[in-house]
Amino acid sequence: MRLYLTTLNPTDSVTRGFLPAARALGCAVTILTDQPERYPGAETLRTDVRDARAVIDTIARHHRPDAIFSNSDHIQPETALAAEYFGLPAKDWRACLTAKNKALTRRALALAGVESVHSVRLPPGGPPPADLPYPVVVKPREGVASEDVVLVRDSGELATAVADIGARRPTATLVAEEYLEGPLRTLETLGDGRDLRVLGGFRTTLGPLPYFVEERLDWDPVADPHVLRALAAIGAGLGACHAEYVVTDAGPRVVEVNYRVIGDTCDFLLAELLGVPLHEWILRVHLGEPVMTPPDATGHGAAVSLVADATGTIKEGPGDVAENAGDVRLRHRALRAVGDQVELTHTNRDYLGIVRAVGPDEAAVSRAVDGFRARHPWVIG
């Protein structure tokens, strides 16, 4: 079997997850990327993966495909169109586009009668609307990783935020959405285009406002029917999907839908909690196999992000660590190294490392994580 994997940047999900999973399934893997030099030892083809026509042409000149897959946020529609062209299991490209574009997400959910959240586009250089229901959250329409997401409380803060983001993203369209107040949660699903399975979910702890940096995710599986209706309205039914939502006083409201598996190493945490080869399961549905039913997870798991609190040079920090702390299995993935220069962005890009821990309960997991942080601090000077 030949699997084509389209990707932009190397991530743990790709290099430590999907590539080994594909090989375990007996697939020959060809990586389509605009940066082939970043995948040493793998068969790569330089391709403009943001252009479906280029992806289709590259594959047509190579081996016959059995699956075309991507876990990259920005190229889901292009990958879906390529898979559909070759008659392979494919996500609906419309669903991919709707999920990625936050304005289209709001439109789809409102038209389907699932929910209505006040949201307006802020085109580059355009005047701000006069009737926003402050406070509102300003964010790029196609943003990721909490980048340039900020809470603003009045028109003055809105003007400042728009100017600040515009200096970094002069051509980007922003959206301003009503602030959804309440606990933030995730729902993780996997489908084969016919049946959809709930894998679980997490309770998310954010850093201080006005930014939205995810600092901790705790296993807390809730199969919220409102979110499942939202996924159906968008059309997200094939493959993995990571949805974020807030439990407001008026009920659940979707924040965003990422039509791929959860990131920041939480896919590995999810696999460990369920005790299944998650990345293989995801690839299997793209190879045309029926979705499997996940077992019930036992115990508790958490992913704790170690976030830089200052700009400067890293003076001290742990590398990758795998250890047992009593009955807790703990893994630390270093994202930076001693000597690196850190510039605060107030986004998930400020992560220095991520600790994953699985144990019998939340208290045991928290003790193990706290102990690790005390023994292995990140020091910025």
- Of the candidates 197, 176, 177, the residue with the CA atom closest to the CA atom of residue 188: 197
Structure tokens at 73: 């946020």
The distance between the two most distant Cα atoms of the chain, rounded to a whole number of Å, is: 58
Cis check: omega of the bond before 290, within 30 degrees of 0 = no
What burial class does residue 363 get, using C-beta atoms within 10 Å of its C-beta: 0-12 exposed, 13-18 middle, 19+ buried?
exposed
Please enumerate in sequence order all residues whose Cβ is within 8 A of that of 211, keeping only pairs 6 or more positions apart, or say none.
146, 149, 150, 151, 346, 347
Alpha helices in the chain (DSSP H): 12, 19-24, 52-60, 76-85, 93-100, 102-111, 155-168, 225-234, 266-274, 278-286, 362-375
Tell me what percent of the residues of the chain surpass a pLDDT of 70. Answer: 100
Stretch 4-21: mean pLDDT, rounded?
A: 96
Counting residues of the chain whose pLDDT is more than 90, the rounded percentage is 93
Query: Do residues 282 and 190 lie in contact, with contact meaning Cβ atoms separated by under 8 Å?
Result: yes
For residue 44, give both structure tokens. Answer: 């790569």
Strand partners, 63: none
Q: Over 80: is that where the pLDDT of 127 sits?
A: no
β-strand pairing of 214-219 with 321-325: unpaired
> pLDDT digit string (tens) for 279-331?
999 999 999 999 999 999 989 999 999 999 999 999 999 999 999 999 999 99
Among candidates 18, 361, 95, 348, which has minimal Cα distance to 204? 348
Give the three-class secondary structure for 325: strand
What are the C-alpha distances in Å from 276 to residues 92, 199, 222, 273, 280? 26, 11, 19, 8, 9
Average of per-residue pLDDT across 129-136 = 90
Euclidean distance between CA atoms 343 and 141, whole angstroms? 24
Q: pLDDT of 42-94, one tens digit each?
A: 999 999 999 999 999 999 999 999 999 999 999 999 999 999 999 999 999 99
**Burial classification of residue 225, based on how many CB atoms lie within 10 Å of its CB (0-12 exposed, 13-18 middle, 19 or more buried):** exposed
CA pair distance 330, 321, nearest whole angstrom: 8
Of 133, 59, 358, 99, residue with least CA distance to 230: 99
Single-letter amino acid code for the residue at 265: T
* Residues facing residue 122 across a β-bridge: 174
> What is the DSSP secondary structure assignment for residue 8, as one 8-state letter?
S
Q: Residue 144 — pLDDT band, cuts 50, 70, 90?
A: confident
> Has this prediction a pTM greater than 0.85?
yes
* pLDDT the model gives residue 143: 87
Quick one: tokens of 187? 């729902």
Distance CA(64)–CA(330), nearest Å, equals: 42
Work out the mean pLDDT of the chain and round it to a whole number.
Answer: 96
Token representation of residue 238: 């094939």
pLDDT by residue (tens digit) across 253-262? 999 999 999 9
**Is the pLDDT reported for residue 226 higher than 90?**
yes
Position 95 scores a pLDDT of 98
